[in-house]
Amino acid sequence: MSVALVAGAADRRILDERGGSRAMTWIMAIMLLLTVLAAATGLGMVNAAAALDRQLAGRLTVQVVDADPAKRDRDTAAVMAALAQMPAVKRATPVDRGRLTELLRPWLGDASSDADVPLPSLIDVDMSVPSEESAARVAAGVRAVAPSARVDAQSRWLSPVADFMRTMIAAALALVLLMAAATSAAVLLAVRAGLETHRDTIAILHILGSTDVQVARLFQRRIALDTVVGGAIGTVAAMIATWAITRQMAGMGSGLLSGAVLGQRDWLLLAALPIVFALVATIAARIAVLRRLRLVQ
């Protein structure tokens, strides 16, 4: 099958649609604008999810809970000493009480800084070799010296965030596929309208000896040109908007948002979308024309 993406001067004269062609170009521009924005959102979520996994892989939080401050401090010191002796632990860092107070202030108000409020001691633990077996050994060692201590994987706390990211990735992929289907539908409608508009021209071409394949090639070149031109316009506009948004997210200082910034590979994938859509539109146009012409004959 011969697929050409550039319409020649003769093709444009035979299928001169003027306003209709311009309308098709802008339809494709809008389609690609929305598709690229959806794809950029999906790629950003993929990057953010990967960054979150890297940050939380092998990280544990140890809570030493006890109403007696003296006993809590002794248990905390014992846990720190035990963690320092464990080969699976890369680093153990106690959370400053002032930082913990600030984290609890939105829920407890000024009571979070009251000395009578029994705040737990928190210890952030980085594993040298992240694994469930290593985490289980660390938890067992911590409880051996401080039975009241609790060991939690930080990934469990943020599992709702990870689930939301996966949902957003699936939604973005579904939207890209829907836009591809909508583009094919728009091409089918444009082809049918073009066949009706150029019925007499097509009849003359058949009389002159043109085959259905040659007639289909005229339409697919016209559709391909409209898709490439419109797709380039929509893609450039979407990429500019995406660049502005990602630049703003990178400057917020949030680790999660910074992880959603697109890389070079992501930009190349977005730039390839107009070509992919042009191929889809061209193939859809060829199939639609050949089917229609066979039905008419």
Is there a domain that residue 190 lies in?
yes
Do 229 and 137 belong together in one domain? no
Q: Which helix (H) or strand (E) holds 121?
A: strand 121-127
Do 95 and 197 belong together in one domain? no
* pLDDT tier for residue 105 given thresholds of 50, 70 and 90: low
pLDDT attached to residue 240? 92
CB-based contacts of 136, cutoff 8 Å, min separation 6: none
Token look-up 């080969």 returns 87
Contact 26, 213 (CB under 8 A): no
* pLDDT tier for residue 236 given thresholds of 50, 70 and 90: very high
Task: Judge whether residue 19 has pLDDT over 50.
Answer: no
What pTM does this model have? Answer: 0.67
Average pLDDT along the chain? 76
- What is the C-alpha separation between 87 and 40, in angstroms, rounded? 42
pLDDT attached to residue 59? 80
Residue ending a domain, among 147, 182, 210, is: 147
Question: Residue 25: what residue type?
Answer: T
pLDDT in tens, 211-224: 767 777 777 777 88
pLDDT attached to residue 145? 85
Q: How far is CA 155 from CA 55, 61, 85, 275, in A?
A: 9, 10, 24, 39
How many structural domains does the chain have?
2
* pLDDT tier for residue 237 given thresholds of 50, 70 and 90: very high
Least confident interval from 7-11, 86-90, 100-104, 240-244:
7-11
Do 126 and 203 belong together in one domain? no
Name the residue among 6, 28, 11, 42 with its Cα closest to residue 214: 11
